[in-house]
Structure 1
Amino acid sequence: MTDALPSAESLTVEFKSDLKKLPDRELVEAIVCLANAEGGELWLGVEDDGRPTGLHVDHQMLAGLAGMVAARTSPSLTVRVSSVEAAGVCVARIEVPKAQGEVATNNGVYLRRRLKSDGSPECVPMLPHERISRASSFGLIDVSGQPVAGTTLADLDPLERERLRQAVQQYGGDRVLLELDDEALDGALGLTARLQDGTRVPTLTGLLLVGREGALRERVPTHEFAFQVLAQQAVRFNEFRRFPLLKALDWLETNFRPYNPEEEIQVGLFRVPVPMVDMAAFREAVANALIHRDYHRLGAVHVRLEDEALVVSNPGGLMDGVTLANLLVTEPRPRNRTLADAMKRVGVVERSGRGVDTIFRGMLKFGRPSPDYSRTDSHSVVVRLPTEPADLDFRRLVVEEERRRSAELPIDSLIALAAVRELKRVTAEELASRIQRDAASAKRTLEALTEAGLVEAHGNARGRSYTLSAAVYQRQGDKAAYTRQAGFTDLQNEQLVLNYVRQHGQIKRADVMELCRLGENQTKALLSRLKGDGRLTQHGTRRGSYYTTGPDAP
């Protein structure tokens, strides 16, 4: 963190005046408030408007401040305190870590920081359901495996049990489940739990999977989902339901199919369907929203078909440790473990827990953009699946390659092919961020595609870039495109740069990258070669550098 005083308060920045000596109780409560959100900095000796006014004389010895905070919080919170000079006065910066779970004052006060509608922060009481919700987001408790108060076995629906058994057969789930009687099935899937007196009662998972609708409505009032079709701002379909989850998935699929047109393409002797939305991706996205939502938060799971995308959203943000930058590679961290495990065994969702791969695959194999999670925040997960027309040539390429291999393309390879198709030329460094791995992994993926004859490498080891191969372009009947994307020879690139300098007087590195369509390392090598030959002269260093005609320029 920087020593510079922030300009304003935010979710992670709090200012506290110390002119009248801030009471220890208020200081500890403000620190607890930050810790129960995202952590951050508390600046003691700064007014609400950001003016530093300095520390009270009793607070100018900061050595014992961290110990006081640890003694007055439960569990003990470790903060870092440092002195900072601002506008000629001394203020204290207190760095507050994000609590792994929840923290209270030693008087039992739970507070959390949030943003008001105008964007300004405030501290509010942390209610019991919010504490449970936060603990579940860290994986500390599994509410889906807990008994639901006031329920009995009569709240479970025999018809929904039969639907569950049929789902095992339909989705290819764990067939061992088909051999179990009701009580054994309940135990295997965590649908019920035993109380201390030996009686069995439904868990949240039990109610959500095989509960009667009346019991669900009464005992799990947060459970609700909606299917909406919005066409050019007109509402064509808008219905909310509270069905058990397997019935919910059936209902959503049935109502979505009429809005999901499909065409076919010929690949060899076979006709391959090309739907507007891949049904495997649809099912995985919807099931994930229903399974991983926060059942302590009000709000429905929304499945909304818009003009340009299918959007699926659910209450409850990503689990702690899961970010948009590691969605593809992080270990699965379900909020509702018992429910997630049950749905995996039934076969509704990916057994490996890599359901995000299924959603990405369902988009990329048709030449459509990757799923867009950018609208996700701490309160909800939102995935947008663009419904733009498929790239039929790309779909043929994927189908042919997967038939040759007798297996699906690895997800990294599919992402790499999609990136080369979109960008025309990529480097390992550019691909690394897309597959959410390091450059070495990206290079291995590209080299494997090179060996398969799908892409070609250009340039030396450090500046190597990749394009679709000549064979792929030829198969698609576009030989000229290959010649364009394969790029110019080194000699042609040199002439392009020298002509540009003669015409414009100078050239920057970014100009060379755009002009010759080269990667950063290739550009460095080209400019270094021209400078070494005396044909260009460098002025300045780093980002501000530019090149003019050298003494040996032709």
Structure 2
Amino acid sequence: MTPRLPPAESLTVEFKSDRKRLSDNELVEAIVCLANAEGGELWLGVEDDGTPTGLHAEHQMLDGLPGLVAARTSPSVNVTVQALEVDGVSVARIAVPKARSVVATSGGVYLRRRIRHDGQPECVPMLPHERESRASTLGLVDVSALPVAGATLADLDPLERERLRQAVQQYGGDRVLLELDDEALDGALGLTVREPDGSRVPTLTGLLLLGRESALRNRVPTHEFAFQVLAQQAVRFNEFRRFPLLKALEWLETNFRPYNPEEELQVGLFRVPVPMVDMAAFREAVANALIHRDYHRLGAVHVRLEDDALVVSNPGGLVEGVTLANLLVTEPRPRNRALADAMKRIGVVERSGRGVDTIYRGMLKFGRPAPDYSRTDAHNVVVRLPTEPADLDFRRLVVEEERRRGAELPIDSLIALAALRELKRVTADELAGRIQRDAASAKRTLEALIEAGLVEAHGAARGRSYTLSAAVYQRRGEKAAYTRQAGFTPIQHEQMVLNYVRQHGQIRRAEVMDLCRLSEGQAKDLLKRMQGNGLLKLEGAGRGAFYRLGERGLKTDENG
């Protein structure tokens, strides 16, 4: 299929006029600019407003262009070039891949493409800290493992090292750390590294965990966080701090608790707390923001309690390979690996690296919506945790099932139950999108819940759908709701179709789907079955096909 000229320039589309022959340097710089962002297309011979004006005579032969670009970029960018005719003139479409490292021209020029405040794209110089940030996002360098320029052991606070040891005990971290002396502890967690002369100096991880506030302010100026409480557009709390991370987490949690009311749910002999925000989810979301933020970018980590949600945001978009579509299933790819590993060993965050699961679990087990990451962009990760009232009956169901199992429900099962609570009926394909896996995995999750007595299946093959079981609806005091969701039996479906045909003379497949609330596959199977046993007969073909009463259907009508 021939590519079409895009309607306008964007982050991934660049137009370049060639009427006066675009110089090789300008062409290569434009390609570097795209490669250092998301890649895209450079259209040569097109004006900025999207008007194709054609290639210069010296650019009519494009065979040597990929080689020229490869020779004048470092590392080499491999472009593909396609000659096209648009509105009667020749243009060139140059496909530029997203660079897997930071790219420069052979002359040492670093550029990156960005969107201005007015929504228009532009190429700007790529400053040294932006190149480091890019390398960190691509996973090419771990800045948290590197020594901080000018930092010394005097910048580390002995009180914070004691706080670290207490945190290992409090959070159930790696108890081997408690047996180590200070120097061995610093080495085990990557808090310091040795210089060629044998001296030890703090790494970024070391400063972030143990650094004095004055050292953090001077050596790591990008480190800052804020706690804000906004109630009906009034600011009730708004403070910024530069504490080391363990102290930061304590301070944030201490200040958040008064704003996090809690009720109790009686389940059997036990009282189960039901907070407005699950504290495990709060801690994981805040710790993730502090650990995975881009320490090359200015800007604070914000923990903001709004009227209807807790919102946690941090500078720096998702790292390479992580998207909103694979958050639940992708392998952990920390931007600051040394810092993340240290926090895991201390026990502050999920040691498996599946912290997103903890955040999801903290929302869904109370019958609240899933965490919302939709505001995340290339510059910030934003997670919104709705604080709407909990569904106490759903919470009781989860508690009872987990006690029966003696273990937490798998996250996919919890997502499935939450989806059924919300949508009433789902298919394996619909659930697959929510658990970010394939339909086969979703079906296995649903079938396991059937065995547990929590879910029932309706229909077969492609038309198979699932609802919460009758027992679950009964426990929730919603017997009538179960009957509505479970629908009618096949015999009842047949009777509804026959009554419709008697009243209207005929019926089409779409009308069966609407009448019986069946999928296309289920309606097709029903009609095929009724045709096979003589209740209906098919007339016409294709879109014009419809069904009338068959011989057996007519006899039933006469006998009735």
Compute the TM-score of the two structures, normalised by the length of structure 2. Answer: 0.94
Identify the residue that residue 534 of structure 1 maps to in structure 2. 537
Deviation at 1:490, TM superposition (A): 2.9
Deviation at 1:102, TM superposition (A): 1.0
Q: Note closer, same or farther for the CA distance 1:522–1:114 as it changes in structure 2 (3 Å cut).
A: same
Separation of aligned partners in 2, 1:49 and 1:531: 61
Please list, as runs of the form range in 1=range in 2, the aligned pairs for 1:247-396 lying within 5 A after superposition.
247-396=247-396
Identify the residue that residue 97 of structure 2 maps to in structure 1. 97
Contact 2:371–2:383 (8 Å) recurs in 1 = yes
Q: Note closer, same or farther for the CA distance 1:369–1:7 as it changes in structure 2 (3 Å cut).
A: same
Contact 2:54–2:89 (8 Å) recurs in 1 = yes
Aligned-partner SS, 1:389: coil
Identify the residue that residue 32 of structure 1 maps to in structure 2. 32
Identify the residue that residue 127 of structure 1 maps to in structure 2. 127
Separation of aligned partners in 2, 1:320 and 1:335: 9
Contact 2:498–2:549 (8 Å) recurs in 1 = no
Identify the residue that residue 155 of structure 1 maps to in structure 2. 155
Contact 1:45–1:53 (8 Å) recurs in 2 = yes
Deviation at 1:500, TM superposition (A): 7.5
Q: Note closer, same or farther for the CA distance 1:4–1:497 as it changes in structure 2 (3 Å cut).
A: farther
Contact 1:41–1:96 (8 Å) recurs in 2 = yes
Contact 1:427–1:519 (8 Å) recurs in 2 = no
Separation of aligned partners in 2, 1:28 and 1:343: 43
Separation of aligned partners in 1, 2:39 and 2:524: 42
Deviation at 1:525, TM superposition (A): 3.4
Q: Note closer, same or farther for the CA distance 1:495–1:297 as it changes in structure 2 (3 Å cut).
A: farther
Separation of aligned partners in 2, 1:504 and 1:350: 64
Deviation at 1:534, TM superposition (A): 3.4
Separation of aligned partners in 2, 1:536 and 1:159: 86
Instruction: Give the number of equivalent residue pairs.
Output: 548
Deviation at 1:166, TM superposition (A): 0.4
Give CA-to-partner distance per residue, 1:298-332, whole Å, 9 cap, x none.
Answer: 11000001111100000000010100000000000
Contact 2:513–2:520 (8 Å) recurs in 1 = yes
Identify the residue that residue 401 of structure 1 maps to in structure 2. 401
Separation of aligned partners in 1, 2:133 and 2:18: 34
Identify the residue that residue 415 of structure 2 maps to in structure 1. 415
Deviation at 1:504, TM superposition (A): 13
2:197 alignment partner AA: D
Aligned-partner SS, 2:227: strand
Aligned-partner SS, 2:402: helix
Identify the residue that residue 52 of structure 2 maps to in structure 1. 52
Please list, as runs of the form range in 1=range in 2, the aligned pairs for 1:56-67 lying within 5 A after superposition.
56-67=56-67
Separation of aligned partners in 2, 1:91 and 1:499: 65
Separation of aligned partners in 1, 2:253 and 2:18: 60
Identify the residue that residue 237 of structure 2 maps to in structure 1. 237
Separation of aligned partners in 1, 2:60 and 2:527: 56
2:393 alignment partner AA: D
Aligned-partner SS, 2:537: coil
Q: Note closer, same or farther for the CA distance 1:519–1:259 as it changes in structure 2 (3 Å cut).
A: farther
2:347 alignment partner AA: G
Separation of aligned partners in 2, 1:118 and 1:520: 47
Contact 1:465–1:519 (8 Å) recurs in 2 = no
Q: Which has the higher mean CA deviation after the structures are superposed, 40-49 or 516-525?
A: 516-525
Separation of aligned partners in 2, 1:75 and 1:288: 33
Deviation at 1:493, TM superposition (A): 3.8
Query: Structure 1: which 5+ residue stretches go unaligned?
Result: 541-545
Q: Note closer, same or farther for the CA distance 1:4–1:503 as it changes in structure 2 (3 Å cut).
A: farther
Contact 1:537–1:550 (8 Å) recurs in 2 = no
Identify the residue that residue 210 of structure 2 maps to in structure 1. 210
Separation of aligned partners in 2, 1:356 and 1:315: 18
Deviation at 1:507, TM superposition (A): 6.8
Deviation at 1:22, TM superposition (A): 0.8
Deviation at 1:176, TM superposition (A): 0.4
Deviation at 1:506, TM superposition (A): 8.2
Identify the residue that residue 543 of structure 1 maps to in structure 2. none
Separation of aligned partners in 2, 1:506 and 1:230: 58
Task: State the percentage of identical aligned residues.
Answer: 81
Give CA-to-partner distance per residue, 1:254-291, whole Å, 9 cap, x none.
Answer: 00001101111111110101001000000000000000
Q: Note closer, same or farther for the CA distance 1:62–1:270 as it changes in structure 2 (3 Å cut).
A: same
Contact 1:531–1:538 (8 Å) recurs in 2 = no
Aligned-partner SS, 1:84: strand
Whether 2:540 is the aligned partner of 1:522: answer: no
Aligned-partner SS, 1:462: helix
Deviation at 1:498, TM superposition (A): 7.4
Aligned-partner SS, 2:63: coil
Identify the residue that residue 23 of structure 1 maps to in structure 2. 23
Identify the residue that residue 173 of structure 1 maps to in structure 2. 173
Contact 1:143–1:336 (8 Å) recurs in 2 = yes
Aligned-partner SS, 2:177: helix
Q: Note closer, same or farther for the CA distance 1:499–1:47 as it changes in structure 2 (3 Å cut).
A: farther
Query: Structure 2: which 5+ residue stretches go unaligned?
Result: 555-560
Deviation at 1:481, TM superposition (A): 1.4
Contact 1:216–1:242 (8 Å) recurs in 2 = yes
Contact 2:308–2:388 (8 Å) recurs in 1 = yes
Separation of aligned partners in 1, 2:410 and 2:174: 24
Contact 1:229–1:237 (8 Å) recurs in 2 = yes
Contact 2:325–2:436 (8 Å) recurs in 1 = yes
Whether 2:452 is the aligned partner of 1:471: answer: no
Aligned-partner SS, 1:431: helix
Separation of aligned partners in 1, 2:21 and 2:506: 64
Aligned-CA RMSD value: 2.1
2:134 alignment partner AA: R
Aligned-partner SS, 1:534: strand
Identify the residue that residue 558 of structure 2 maps to in structure 1. none
Contact 1:506–1:547 (8 Å) recurs in 2 = no
Identify the residue that residue 454 of structure 2 maps to in structure 1. 454
1:377 alignment partner AA: D
Give CA-to-partner distance per residue, 1:49-107, whole Å, 9 cap, x none.
Answer: 11111111111111111111111110011011011111011111000000002111100
1:351 alignment partner AA: R
Separation of aligned partners in 2, 1:534 and 1:150: 87
Q: Note closer, same or farther for the CA distance 1:135–1:268 as it changes in structure 2 (3 Å cut).
A: same
Q: Note closer, same or farther for the CA distance 1:29–1:460 as it changes in structure 2 (3 Å cut).
A: same
Identify the residue that residue 198 of structure 1 maps to in structure 2. 198
Identify the residue that residue 146 of structure 2 maps to in structure 1. 146
Separation of aligned partners in 1, 2:124 and 2:498: 64
Q: Note closer, same or farther for the CA distance 1:475–1:252 as it changes in structure 2 (3 Å cut).
A: same
Separation of aligned partners in 1, 2:515 and 2:225: 51
Give CA-to-partner distance per residue, 1:220-251, whole Å, 9 cap, x none.
Answer: 11100011111111111111111000000000
Separation of aligned partners in 1, 2:194 and 2:453: 59
Give CA-to-partner distance per residue, 1:4-41, whole Å, 9 cap, x none.
Answer: 11011000000111111111110010010000000000
Separation of aligned partners in 2, 1:515 and 1:41: 50
Q: Note closer, same or farther for the CA distance 1:274–1:516 as it changes in structure 2 (3 Å cut).
A: farther
